[in-house]
Amino acid sequence: MKVAIASGELAPGEGLPSVRQLASRLRINPATVVQAYRGLEEEGFVEVRQGAGTFVKEVADQRRDVERSRQASLLIRRMLAEAGRLRLATPELRAAFDREIRPETA
């Protein structure tokens, strides 16, 4: 949800699914959803309104940028881990990355 909030996919004021709805949809324990929502609230991404639900907060541009940067780093780490499993050398990985970033036009 942090990614969706940081990217603007979830807008300020938008309501999140209830604990029961999300737990059912994800097939997880409702306590896990409560814990996740509490963490999002502590980090300033959402606010819990007693009796009304959980809503996306307006996130400062700096906080949004920090989260987007953190997510970019996690994405790179996952890519590097997969590249390691494939035994790709750095030059091979860099060449593939460059091809994807700047595909040649026909």
Q: Token pair for residue 26?
A: 């994800």
Domain chopping of the chain, boundaries: 2-56, 61-101
Confidence category of residue 105, pLDDT binned at 50, 70, 90: low
pLDDT in tens, 68-83: 898 899 999 999 999 9
* C-alpha–C-alpha distance, residues 61 and 50, integer Å: 27
For position 103, what pLDDT does the model report?
72
For position 73, what pLDDT does the model report?
94
* C-alpha–C-alpha distance, residues 44 and 59, integer Å: 7
For position 101, what pLDDT does the model report?
87
Contact 21, 37 (CB under 8 A): no
Q: Is the pLDDT of residue 106 over 60?
A: no
Q: Quote the pTM value.
A: 0.65
Q: State the pairing for strand pair 46-49/53-56.
A: antiparallel
Q: Is the dihedral of CA 79, 16, 63, 44 positive or negative?
A: negative
**Assigned architecture for domain 2-56:** Orthogonal Bundle (1.10)
Contact 96, 83 (CB under 8 A): no
- CA 35 from centre of chain: 17
Q: What is the mean pLDDT of residues 86-91?
A: 93
pLDDT in tens, 30-50: 999 999 999 999 999 999 998
How many CA atoms, within 13 angstroms, populate the side-chain half-sphere of residue 99? 6
